[in-house]
Amino acid sequence: MTITKGLIIADPWIGHILDGTKTWEMRSASVSHRGWFGLIRKGTGAVYGVARLTDVGAPLSLEEMVSTYERHRIPERQIRSGEVAKWNIPWKLEDVRRLASPVPYRHRNGAVTWVELGQDVSDAIARQIGEIPQPHVAPAATPLPSQHRSAAPQGERAPASMPAKNVRLIGQVQITQGNINNNHIYLREFFDRFPEEVIGGSNRREEAARTVTVDWGGDALVQTDLDGSKRLFRARSWVRNFFELNDAAAGDWVLVEEIGFYTYRVRLVKRGGVHAA
């Protein structure tokens, strides 16, 4: 596989693509390109994943935009406000693959829609997705559980635009069996410590203006906003895996730490390891 083109996509949209919840990238014009391309996170100077552009649809009406929310993830209130009126052409994506480590590239002057990727960038991407044999390296040490990992995670977990060296505890909460059974973590006691722009309404059509990135110790980061009604992370499918990874039990504590701009780490400490404030 040779990836010669990249597309710059801002947050939160690229996050939704990478986590598999957004299959249409909405644009203001059609495009002739079909096939693989790199997913570039705006402002980072790096390729974070790849996807295959399979088709481009006709411009959507306002009501069609509203009814296809699950494909493009643009909240209804944003659509009806006219803010995204010109972004009504769906570029249809398949086979999205997140890279284990973002690949830096050089942005050439004049690039507007598509960015031309150099051979070195294409090769680096191909090595990660298995198309080019990787050189032999010594096996890495078995990673420690999430609560013992360094405050400066590797690869995508600490991109240059999100420094992780200044960790700040946002809050801590003791979990119940109900939390474990229902895959959620209540943030009620420290909810006011999150930025207002990441707090949305009670359902997915009232998503916040932007998302946060959550590092929970698994293989993939999570992009989500916060449910302002229930006061928890709106995306919850990862929580079950988080509890299982850490063998969570009622009475254990969950710590939420800010490790960068709109970036948080969630880790579990066994009962007795945290004293209530």
Q: What per-residue confidence (pLDDT) applies to 40?
A: 94
Q: Take residue 16 and report the two structure tokens written for it.
A: 């939704």
Contact 184, 266 (CB under 8 A): no
pLDDT over 70 percentage in the chain: 82
Contact 116, 108 (CB under 8 A): yes
Q: What per-residue confidence (pLDDT) applies to 157?
A: 37
User: Average pLDDT of 123-144?
Assistant: 55
pLDDT band for position 145 (cuts 50, 70, 90): very low
Q: What per-residue confidence (pLDDT) applies to 78?
A: 92
* Residue count (the chain): 277
pLDDT band for position 107 (cuts 50, 70, 90): confident
Contact 239, 222 (CB under 8 A): no
Q: What per-residue confidence (pLDDT) applies to 152?
A: 33
Contact 97, 49 (CB under 8 A): yes
pLDDT at 28 over 50: yes
When comparing pLDDT for 122 and 204, which is higher? Answer: 122
pLDDT at 167 over 70: yes
Fold of 5-128: 2.30.130
Question: What's CA 64's distance to the chain center, in Å?
Answer: 26
Q: Which of 75-79, 160-164, 195-199 has the lowest mean pLDDT?
A: 160-164
Q: Which CATH number fits domain 146-269: 1.20.120.80, 3.40.50.720, 2.40.330.10, 3.30.360.10?
A: 2.40.330.10
Report how far residue 229's alpha carbon sits from residue 78's, in angstroms, rounded to the nearest whole number: 19
pTM equals: 0.50
pLDDT at 50 over 90: yes
pLDDT at 184 over 60: yes
pLDDT at 143 over 80: no
Mean model confidence pLDDT for the chain = 83
Q: What per-residue confidence (pLDDT) applies to 100?
A: 85
Q: Strand, helix or coil at 259?
A: strand
User: Average pLDDT of 105-131?
Assistant: 80
Domain extents for the chain? 5-128, 146-269
Report how far residue 131's alpha carbon sits from residue 127's, in angstroms, rounded to the nearest whole number: 6
pLDDT over 90 percentage in the chain: 56
pLDDT tens, residue by residue, 251-267: 999 999 988 778 899 99
